[in-house]
Copies of this chain bind each other. A is one copy, B any other.
Amino acid sequence: MGEAPRGNAVVGQSGGPTAVINQSLVGVIEAARECGAIERLLGARNGVRGIVEQRFVDLKSLDDELLERVAQTPASALGSTRDKPDEVYCRRIFEVFAANDVRYFFYIGGNDSADTAWIVNEMAAVEGYSLRVFHVPKTIDNDLRVTDHCPGYGSAARFVAAALMGDDRDSASLPGVKIDVIMGRNAGWLAAAGELARQDPSDGPHLIYVPERPLAEEQFVEQVAEVYGRLGRCLVAASEGIEDENGVSYAEKLVSTIERDNHGNPQLSGSGALGDYLAEIVRTKVGRKLGGKKLRVRADTFGYLQRSFAGFASPVDQKEARLAGRKAVEYAASGLAGGSVAFRRVAGNKYRITCFHAELKDMARDTKPLSDEFINAEGNGVNDSFRAYAQPLIGSLPTIGRL
């Protein structure tokens, strides 16, 4: 703890945008206005990139009406970056901070951004430069450790659930096998949200595949054939990061050289190849298993719509993302030397959270897979505990009418 130094603050947004990342930005702006220790609040264009290039925008003087519109707008209003600062990059950040009397840095992002925040904060300590770096969690992947869930997840999960609910009705109208590929490089949290589309035992998605459970091709073929045989159709929700029994991802099987971002993460989104590959397996092998039946097989890849679709964010997620931004500033004002904002669920029948201060190192680097307790015994779906966990995060969806 200690006294909160007076000086300027920088806020930036990093990594893949979400539908509510601007709620967190506006939360930081609102709280910074009320914080006596913070003089100017500078928005860095494109995250750390905008810091080293000194592309700043003054954020304290914006009017409330504009702020509210920004909060409701998906994707990063300040722009984002995939840069991962190294030693030289960090030194340049310090020079810019020192030249601008920056004493606070709020970085809205996922585990990679927490890592950057942590490195920058450690370096500041070594350099003897009084800097307080706070991470504001954001990720549709919901894979940050320590926290119950992550701002951005609820809205993406809401999109996925509504998309699968509608697609299941579509597939019930014109039966066949439908495969929907959902974001989630390493964790199945988002694909799991497909469970919230189901209002009746016969509803799809009938199979949910997540990276946490290996999926042999033969197993995939058998399970799709079993559901099709039973219901005359099958809706599959698959994480883009699903792996076979040898730990090789299906996406990697497809492409000789997978594009990787600056953090070494393989580029799985922005292509329909995985969905088409899985559809081809079904078309040939499931059809054969069902006695040479010609199946109607379609695949959709939900792609960037999951994180950026306008006008369909989860109200709970919006509120919590705003709160996370505010809390980071409050922690800074309270004299904490750095950290992140985590959520804890309050016990009781009604959904309620409290925030707590987390260490940067606990948000950084490693991620949190979809919990074992949420995955069914067959490894091809999630259970009622997951439903109870995720339902409050996405808000209400329409009730299906059936004839």
Binding site for B on A (CB under 8 A): 13, 16-17, 19, 22, 43, 57, 59, 62, 66-82, 162-163, 165-167, 169-170, 172-174, 178, 269-273, 275-276, 279, 297-305, 307-312, 397-403
A13 closest partner in B (C-beta): B173
Q: Is the CB of A401 within 8 A of B70?
A: yes
CB atoms of B301 and A301 under 8 A apart: yes
- Complex CA gap A246/B57 in Å reads 50
Copies of this chain = 2
Q: In the assembly, what is the distance between CA of A8 and CA of B40, in Å?
A: 75
Task: Tell me whether A17 and B401 are in contact (CB under 8 A).
Answer: no
| Listed A/B pairs (25) with beta-carbon separation below 8 Å | A17-B170, A19-B166, A57-B403, A59-B403, A69-B399, A69-B400, A72-B401, A75-B170, A75-B172, A76-B173, A77-B403, A78-B403, A79-B173, A166-B305, A166-B310, A167-B305, A170-B304, A270-B298, A271-B272, A271-B298, A271-B299, A272-B299, A300-B303, A302-B305, A310-B398
**A399: which B residues are within 8 A, CB to CB?**
69
Known: A72-B401, A76-B173, A79-B172. 6 other contacts (CB 8 A): A77-B401, A166-B304, A166-B310, A271-B299, A272-B275, A311-B397
Asked if B271 and A174 sit within 8 Å, CB to CB, the answer is: no
For A162, the chain B residues whose CB sits under 8 A away are 309-312
Closest chain B residue to A395 by CB distance?
B311
With A17-B174, A162-B310, A308-B167 in contact, is A22–B401 under 8 Å at CB? Answer: yes
Contact partner of A310 (CB less than 8 A), chosen from B16, B79, B397, is: B397
A238 CB, min distance to chain B CBs, angstroms:
14
List, in ascending order, chain B residues with CB within 8 A of A67's CB.
Answer: 401
Q: How many angstroms between the C-alpha atoms of A48 and B178 in the bound complex?
A: 23
Q: Check A16–B72 contact: CB distance below 8 A.
A: no
In the complex the two chains form, what is the Cα distance from A162 to B70 in whole Å?
Answer: 16
Q: Are B166 and A74 in contact (CB under 8 A)?
A: yes
Give every chain B residue within 8 A of A273 (Cβ-Cβ).
272, 276
User: Are A304 and B309 CB-contacts (below 8 A) given A70-B401, A70-B402, A402-B70?
Assistant: no
Q: In the bound complex, what is the Cα–Cα distance between A297 and B398 (angstroms)?
A: 35
Which B residues lie within 8 Å of A402 (CB)?
A: 70, 73, 77
Please tell me which one of the listed residues B71, B169, B173 contacts residue A401 in the complex, with CB atoms under 8 A apart: B71
Contact assessment for B304 and A298 in the assembled complex, using a CB-CB cutoff below 8 Å: yes
Enumerate chain B residues within 8 angstroms of A174, measured Cβ to Cβ.
16-17, 79-82
- The distance from the CB of A233 to the nearest CB of chain B, in whole angstroms, is 11
Closest Cβ neighbor of A273 among chain B residues: B276
Please give the distance in Å from A378's CB to the nearest CB on chain B: 26
